Structure 1
C-alpha cells in the first residue's frame, strides 16, 4: 500500500508541476500559431458562407404559424458549438487538460519505476527517469508524428477514426519495439524490435489525396516544430521530475517500515 501511495502522490505532484510548465511553454510556442491559423480558418468559413446559394423566398412564408418553428430550427443548425472564450477561460481549460494529461502519464511512469525498483532493488534516479521520459517522447511524439504531423485549425485531414487507429498502432508498435531492443538484448529480439519500429510507416498513415487550405505552409512548419519542442519539454521534465519525487516518497515509505 505504501508503494501505491508513493505512485499516486508523486504522479499528482509531478503532473501539476509539469502540466503548468508546459502550459507556460505553449503560451510562447503553439498558442500564438493556433490563433493565427484560426484567423485563416474563420476567413475561409465566412467566404464559404457568403458564396453559398441563398434559399428562394417564394412559396415560403416565414410569418405563417406552420413555418415559424421550422424556420427557427433551421437557423439553429448553423449555430456554433460551445467553446471557451479567448483569454483566461481558454487558458484555464488548457492548463487543466495539460495537468490531467501529465498526471495520467506520470502514473504510467511511476508504475514502471516501482516495478523497476522492485526488480533491481535500486531506486530509479532522475537520470534514468529522464531516459524513460525521452522514450515516451519517442513513442508518443516522434513515431506517430512521422506519419501524422500536428495539424493547425483550418487544415483538412483524413477521417478522425482512421488517424486514431494508425496513431495508436504506431505508438504501441514503437513501445514494443523499443522494449525488445533495450530489455531483451538478443539478435532475434533486436530484429523483431526494428521490424516493429518501421512497420507502421511501411503501412503508411491515412492521408487525403489532395489538401486545399489557405493556411500558409510556413505556419504549419512552425507549428510542427513548436509542438515537437513542447512535447520534448513535457516528456523530459515529466520523466525526471516524476522519478525524483517518486524516489523521495518511496524512500520515506521504506524508512517508516
Structure 2
C-alpha cells in the first residue's frame, strides 16, 4: 500500500507539475518579472544612500559573525538567475507541490475509505482547492514581489487555521447527514473570516493595482488547474497501479 501511494503520488505530481509549469511560464511568470522591475526601479531611486548603507551592513555582519569570511560572503544573497535556471527551479517547486497534493488526496481518500477513481478523485481535488486555495485567498490574496504584507508568521498561522478549518468543515458537511453537524460546519467555514486575516497598517504596494489583480486571478486559476490535473492523474494512476500489483499475484 505504501509503495503504491508513493508511486502514484510521484507519477501524478510529475505529470501535473510539468503541465502546470508550462502554463505558469506563459501566465504568472511574466507578471512576476514585470513586478520585479517596478520594485527594482523604486530601489534604484535611493541607490547611492542604499549602496553605502548596504556596504556598511555587510562589513558589520562579517565582523560580528564568527562564521563569516571569504567563503561565506554573499551566501544569503543567492537566488536563481533569470532564464533557464529560474525556470528550472520554479518547475521543481511546482512539481514538488503537485506531489504533495497527490499524496494529500490519496491520504484523505484512503483514510475516509473512499473508492479512488477519476470522478471521486476530481471531487476531492475540487474540495482541496477550495480548502487550501480559494478560502485562504479570500483573506490573503496571492501577492507579487513588492506588495505590502503583514508579518509572515501571522499570515502563516491564519492561512493554516483557515485551511484546516475549511477542510474539516467540508468533510463534515459532505459526509455527515446530521443537520446540526452540517450547521456547525457551515459556521466553521465562516470562522476564520470573522476573525480576519492579518494585513499591514498601511497597505502600500510598489506594483500597480491592475497587475496585482491580474496576478491574483491567474494564480488562483493556476492553482485550481494544478489541483484538478493532479486529481485526474491520481484517479487514472491508482487503478492502474492496483492492476499492475494484482497481475503478478494472478500469474
- Taking structure 2 as the reference length, what is the TM-score of the superposition? 0.87
State the shift of 1:50 in Å: 4.0
Distance 2:225 2:51 in 1: 48
1:140 corresponds to: 132
The answer to whether structure 1 residue 30 and structure 2 residue 33 are counterparts is no
Residues 51/111 of structure 1: CA separation in 2 closer, same or farther (3 Å cut): same
Report the equivalent of 1:4: 2
- Alpha-carbon offset, residue 49 of structure 1: 3.4
Deviation at 1:115, TM superposition (A): 3.8
Aligned residue for 2:83? 87
Q: Is the 8 A contact 1:133 1:236 kept in 2?
A: yes
State how far apart, in whole Å, the 1-side matches of 2:214 and 2:123 are.
Answer: 27
Q: Distance in 2 between matches of 1:217 and 1:43?
A: 17
The answer for unaligned runs of 5 or more in structure 1 is 56-69
Contact preservation (8 Å) 1:14, 1:241? yes
Partner of 1:101: 97
Of 39, 44, 47 in structure 2, the residue corresponding to residue 46 of structure 1 is 44
> Partners in 2 of 1:38 and 1:131 — Cα distance?
37
2:232 maps to which of 223, 231, 240: 240
Instruction: Provide the rounded CA distance (Å) in 1 between the counterparts of 2:8 and 2:123.
Output: 18
Q: Helix, strand or coil for the counterpart of 2:77? A: coil
User: 1:71 Cα deviation (Å)?
Assistant: 9.1
Match of 2:143 in 1: 151
Please say if 1:216 is aligned against 2:202: no
User: Which whole-Å CA distance do the structure 1 matches of 2:196 and 2:212 have between them?
Assistant: 21
- The answer to whether residue 235 in structure 2 is matched with residue 253 in structure 1 is no
Of the three residues 15, 30, 33, the one matched with 1:17 is: 15
Match of 1:173 among 143, 165, 171: 165
The 8 Å contact of residues 116 and 235 in structure 2, kept in 1 or not, is answered as yes
User: Counterparts of 2:153 and 2:173 in 1: how far apart (Å)?
Assistant: 30
Secondary structure of the residue that 1:147 maps to in structure 2? coil
Distance (Å, rounded) in 2 between the aligned partners of 1:248 and 1:159: 45
Greater CA radius of gyration, 1 or 2?
1
Gap runs ≥5 in structure 2: 64-72
What corresponds to 1:61 in structure 2? none
Instruction: Tell me the CA shift for residue 75 of structure 1.
Output: 9.2
Q: Could you tell me how far 1:202 is from its partner in structure 2?
A: 0.3
Look up the match of 1:67: none
1:73 to 41, 56, 59: 59
Q: Is the 8 A contact 1:113 1:243 kept in 2?
A: no
Q: Check whether the contact 1:110–1:246 (CA below 8 A) recurs between aligned residues.
A: no
**C-alpha offsets along residues 126-154 of structure 1, whole Å, 9 cap, x if unaligned?**
01111111111101110000000011001
Change (3 A) 1:72 1:173: closer
Aligned residue pairs total 237
Write the distance in 1 (CA, Å) between the matches of 2:217 and 2:159.
19
Per-residue CA deviation, residues 90-110 of structure 1 (Å, 9 max, x unaligned), is 011111111111112211212
User: Taking structure 1 as the reference length, what is the TM-score of the superposition?
Assistant: 0.85
